[in-house]
Amino acid sequence: MSIGLSNPVVGREVTERLRGLRAFVVIAAFVLVLTLTLFLVYEAMSSQASFDLATRTRVGRTVYEAVLLIMTLLVLFFVPGLTAGAIAGERERQTLSTLQVTLLRPRSIIAGKILAALAYLGLLLVASLPVLAVAYALGGIRLVDIGSGLLAVAFVALVLAAMVVAISTFAKRVQTATILAYGFVTLLTIAGPLAYGIATIFDARSEGAEARPDETIAPAFLLTPNPLTLVVDVAGGATADAGPLSAMQDGLGEAWYRNDQSWFALFPDTRLGDIAFDDRERPDSRPPAWVLSSLSLTALAVAMSWGAARRLRAPAEVER
């Protein structure tokens, strides 16, 4: 059956979402937070030195990266709340069985729920364009930077929506699905950096009490299966002091460099701690982290969606 925009589930979900006041309150709050970020960053940077052309360009780049970072964090926060009840809500209202016996296949139901959530999230991204236009007017970024940054955030929203909808199929109540969704997104975001930090600590201890911290490093691939890594690597600038995303991208480049210039070095040469990490090694000379991040997130989203489609096969004893 239809999986695309002709899917009747999409029309029904979008209509229900936009019928109430909540949808417009969320959009207003989203834009308000981004506008406040723009104002605070601009005021903090423009008051530090004379506002010449170079300073204005740096402010534009920093504003762009700060707004995009906050936008990504807001997407990570809003997606579980907006999509956790996609299937669990149908089950709680006892309308899931009716949906299952229609001509729609389970994968069409899952796809319809995901596309409906993505359509609403798309409104949030479109609403953010005026804020990004201010950063563009200041300078330091190109239209292609804005486009690539928004595409990265949209991709993160897509895979997260697929994962959360899949989680929703295994919950019987919306409250349970919401808690599971927020827990999963939190784990997905912090698990890699946390594992990287723990591995670095254990690696440092294994080198002995006299080992220097910069002589030890954990496997760099632990940082790649992360939604923030994708946005950071796509939207980060060419210099570490350009903005928050550029500073985080610099950390990715250093992790790759100290891991024998590889993402998958299980036993990196810790002697590289004696070699300074130079800006010339970042970012063009290394394989992009966003490719690994997008592939891992896509694989996880597809696997979870496949499991969710099997869960929705009717008649199912768990729905009785």
Q: Tens place of pLDDT for every residue, the chain, 320 residues?
A: 445 556 777 877 777 777 778 888 889 999 999 999 999 988 888 776 566 667 778 888 899 999 999 999 999 999 998 899 888 888 888 878 777 777 778 888 888 888 888 888 898 999 999 999 998 988 888 899 999 999 999 999 999 999 999 999 988 899 999 999 999 999 999 988 888 888 777 765 555 444 444 444 677 888 888 999 999 999 887 665 678 888 888 888 888 877 777 787 765 555 544 445 554 444 456 678 889 999 999 999 999 999 988 888 755 545 54
Output the CA–CA distances (angstroms, integers) from residue 36 to 32, 63, 313, in the order listed: 6, 11, 46
Neighbours of 157 (CB within 10 A): 26
Q: Considering the entire predicted model, what is its pTM?
A: 0.84
Backbone angles phi, psi at 103, to 5 degrees: -75, -5
- For residue 240, the model assigns a pLDDT of 57
- For residue 52, the model assigns a pLDDT of 67
Token couple for 266:
């299980």
Closest CA to 227 of 74, 33, 62, 26: 74
Token couple for 8:
């009747």
Residue 69 CA to residue 58 CA, distance in Å, equals 16
Residue 80 CA to residue 77 CA, distance in Å, equals 7
User: Angle CA(150)–CA(156)–CA(158) in degrees, nearest 5?
Assistant: 100
Residue type, 173: R
Output the CA–CA distances (angstroms, integers) from residue 52 to 45, 57, 173, 237, in the order listed: 12, 9, 57, 20
Beta strands in the chain (DSSP E): none
Classified as helix, coil or strand, 139 is coil
Q: Are the C-beta atoms of residues 152 and 124 closer than 8 Å to each other?
A: no
- For residue 203, the model assigns a pLDDT of 60
Output the CA–CA distances (angstroms, integers) from residue 183 to 59, 142, 226, 284, in the order listed: 35, 36, 15, 35
Residue position matching structure tokens 């970012």: 283
Backbone angles phi, psi at 109, to 5 degrees: -65, -45
